[in-house]
Structure 1
Amino acid sequence: MQNLRKPFIIRLAYLTMAIVCTNYVSILAQDEQKAFKEGDKTLSVGVGGGMGSLGYSQVTPSISFDYGLPGTRGIVSLGGFFSYSQVKNPYGSSYPSYNNTDSLYTIYKNVGDQRKQTITAGLRFGLHYATRKWDLYAGAMIGYQKTFVDEYSNTVEQYKGSPSTIPPFYGILPTDAKLINKGTVTQQGYNVGQMIFSPYVGTKYYVTKKVSLNLEVGQYTGNVGIGFKF
């Protein structure tokens, strides 16, 4: 009886092993078809931008790297991020003020080409949900941001005119206002640094197996661009 049972147990064990192996191979095959999986390395190049305050324009090129950690089936990634942004005010602007006591009008005019540069770098941790064409992800970055502001010059013009309870608007003065003083004031530049934390969400659509179109939204990482898998 035991001899008859033994071949049955062996056949059952072989069948179980075959089912497990087939299922495992099927899972691996499905993973192989995913747009992002463990062991994948992606490099993304993007650009963010827009308008800052009046007269300012901003360009923010960025580059990021993500690696699908082994043992996570491509669900978890670790990587890095770097960006450089520059904001300029090439137009000049007026900042009027009024001293009611002495009927003095003072106008500050920005005649310099003020420039602010910002460098951002950090480490990224992401969670991914991938299909054959799409990689949807969310994560967080911790890093450091350094900001440099160049020195710039203001001209200061002081006028005396009729008393008014309303400050001058964009340098419009009373008709009897007379220039009594004019000079130049230089604003010193500065640089500051800070630690940053930035959650982000994004998606990549793979137009080929190796090239994707990217969209990412984040406080310090937002951009649109193109990605490469290798």
Structure 2
Amino acid sequence: MRTSLVIANWKLNGDAELLKSFAEHFHQSEIQQHIGVAICPPAVYLKTADVLLNAIGVKVGGQNCSEFEQGAYTGEISAQMLADSGCRYVLIGHSERRALFAESDAVMAGKVQQAQAAGLTPVLCIGETLEQREAGELEQVIEQQLSSACKEVDFENLVIAYEPVWAIGTGKTATPAQAQDVHRLIRNWVATKAPEAAQKIQILYGGSVKADNATELFSQADIDGGLIGGASLDTEQFAAICQAANVKKDS
């Protein structure tokens, strides 16, 4: 049985007060003792998150890392720096990084390798646009993104997050059946590269996940939790999503 995992991606939102609110809530609920829970705040709050969250079992993650280990790369943050700041996870390849900052598939491989070398678990984000889905290119796009990023990768220390681009921040959500189909596709692809890891790897769904749709999404066989955007800024709603993942674990 795979352990469920729910990750909050705060993007360019949140502050130290929100971290304190989350710490207080999860200190009381202790749901993180039953499933994996992680918060990815803006980088300037990572040390605060380390102090407040790691002590109560909520993991901390970075929203991005450099493909470079060190050097003259102003503004970049290395995977090792994230690890030194108390991070356990790092998001790689989020569609906003790909679309807004022109990060290519080729860049993802370097980032995944840097993350694993630093002892972090990379959370590789993949997903198709609406145009690609409607053109029948979904399978090709997903497999290309996986193939490009997963070079010399340790599948035993990898999380994959499927986020259909058309469902991120739009209020639209893939149906549970649509999401399950792609999650199965991803797991089958991993099986061709690392058969033993395929049934253990956590594959998360992201894309307008909320408290009222999380249970049905997480009930699917190959969906192991979620990468949560907007709803992760609300303590109560994020906690409800975590509870839905916990129900999946128990079922």
Instruction: Tell me the TM-score normalised to structure 1 length.
Output: 0.23
Higher helix share: 2
Higher strand share: 1
Instruction: Tell me the TM-score normalised to structure 2 length.
Output: 0.22
Structure with greater Cα Rg:
1
